[in-house]
Structure 1
Amino acid sequence: MNTVKELFRGNIRQYGMVIALLFIMVFFQILTDGILLKPLNITNLILQNSYILVLAIGMLLVIITGHIDLSVGSVAAFVGAISAILMVDMQMHFVPAMLISLLIGALVGAWQGFWVAYVRIPSFIVTLAGMLLFRGLTMIVLDGKSIAPFPKTFQKISSGFLPDAFGGKIHMLTIIIGIVLSLILVFSEWRKRSTQQKYGFEVGSGALFALKLAAMVAVLNIFTYVLATYEGIPNILILLFVLIVIYTFVMNRTIVGRHIYALGGNEKAAKLSGVKTQRITFWVFVNMGVLSALSGLIFAARLNSATPKAGVNFELDAIAACFIGGASASGGIGTVIGAIVGGLVMGVMNNGMSLVGLGIDWQQGIKGLVLLLAVGFDIYNKNKGVS
């Protein structure tokens, strides 16, 4: 029992929200009479929250550096409008249109990153101005109208599924992918534990390690089985998985990731240690611009139109996902997986409250309370010395 307590205490940021997510899912599963975890609803949860999860990954890096970006929803709407003009009005193929859209997102990020990093204007002010600017440009570009429909191939980014070469009632390719990922997970965790033991780090007992692995593998395979009983793995889930792997690797295993954490932990100390803080800040905002553009493309593909009202409150959901997922309001702390878990908490709550018939007024109030409690929990842990 002491070992379990120490394990939880040492990883409270990582496991706290995972446990909260499981509790929320069970709670709404009971309230909705089993509708929440039906295959169709699970798939809808992924599709409905994909663009917020993409934004949360980028927002996490911004928050870790000690900044904030209020413009991401407006940038997503603006890029979605540009992509509609290119693909629908100008009949451009969706691949070059997407590349141009992502480039525009990068330029927007560079524009805002320049003011924050080199002119030293607070990010709150710069991105607030960006939120107003790009919302206005979206309305100008669309002339107050919606543009639709997008090409079918482009729509499949958000609404398509991985094809199954085996056929049958159950999507066998999804089952196979789940098994393969389980083997990779077991090998990765075993290798990590062996490395820690090799260098004399303290690790939990073998029984606890086996229990943890068994739980992770069980959850992974149940999840893939549920998807397999419907249409299989959505295309957008593959994109999300790739982004999570890439950004987790960058933040945990590269010099750039360490510099981002160092910048958020103590900017002056990082600068004295040789970290090019202005350059790091600039590229973090460029990255945020690209992911905002990607989010805008995903949302446009799902909606099958570009509208002036697209992206409203996206920034609030992305910021909330990061803080609920364990990112620190003062910077320097946070993980990609945590941001994803935080986004899923918000998504499950939205979906569950809608299924039980709660109005949007109650939903907004409850989400605000959850965000406040998450940040309060972070401050409490910081004051208690929990890392």
Structure 2
Amino acid sequence: MALPDGNHDDAGHPRLPAAVTAEMSRLFSAGHSLLPLGGPDSKAPTVAFRDRKRLPLSLVMDRMAASGSETYGIRLEGILVVDVDTDTPEARAYVDRRFGSSPARTVTSRGYHLYFRHQGPKPVAVRLPGIAIDFKAGNNEFVVGPQSRRTDGICYVPEGQVVARELLPIFQDHDAISPGAIAPVSATSGRYQQGTRHDALKRRAHQLAQTAESFEEMFADLVGFRDWEIESPEDFPDGKIESLASWYWDKRERGELWGGQDSVVQLRRHAIFKLAKQGEALAFLLYGVLLATHGHQPDGLFAIVPDGFREKGLLRAGRRQIYAAIDVLLGTGLLVCRKKPRGKRNHYLYQLADGREKKREGSKLILVSDKDTHSPTSPDGLAA
């Protein structure tokens, strides 16, 4: 099959090893952008490539052949490579715990490369005893590709195929600091310092509670995090770690652990049956979206803006249909209106309910008609 630039899936070159050209052709066909490499260490680009579009495969091979090189690079647009420079038991355990694994793996001269799909900033390099890890990402960075052979005889051996970018696993950093926060890591030891250690342990416990298969697994991983990442780990004995792990695990078991897009949302059976008996599919869908967005704050108030739902692609129904669905939820008691428009606030504020709430003395449960609706000015439709 001919490619857009005139190259072919089975492209080869008479002056390059077949294993190299076959792998390059496969990667190029999968959509990757390649570079010719060379120089004394066999790892320097032999063409200018910053901010340039993808080079034709034939050009890359010709440049390699002309310089006597058998190495090429893979540009990393939409990709992050975890570059492990120390293939030690400590490094492997660290990578598995913090980033997980990827089937796209290449053995290098000192360690290995793991490929992930990723957009955004990359983590800071890791320098710990027995552990050295760098990160490369973005269209202006590259790594040496699999099957490349340097002039010193070192070959980059593929242990798993580098597949198309959209098929790579998504990069996850389980030790990531929330946006805007300052990483509380010692510049000398690479560990979380005094004054920041407890927060780091809580963040890690929260992350582990979302993914661990058992409490025992979560506790063991949290102990490992303490031992590897915390300065003076003896200040946090196993009993204290177990207590912290138990608190987050109990939250998970009760469905109260909020984890953003990975959170588990509880939907009570009686709510499903209430809406199902009325044949209100849109009301059911609206209720699910509201639960996913506000369920972690049971007492929270929020506005409902139909135009915002439509613009974000959460609901495709028209305004009147969404207003009607709101009235269904109000009528079933799965949603209550807590505040009317007042002053500059020109929208109603709602609260999720369980459908069993009884009107208390002095309380105000307000049903809103589709003629007296909600502010369409909010940009997201889910203002809280």
TM-score range, shorter chain: under 0.3
Which structure has the highest strand share of the two? 2
Please identify the structure whose Cα radius of gyration is greater: 2
TM-score, normalised on structure 1? 0.18
TM-score, normalised on structure 2? 0.18
Using CA pairs below 8 Å that are at least 6 residues apart, which structure has the higher relative contact order? 1
Which structure has the highest helix share of the two? 1
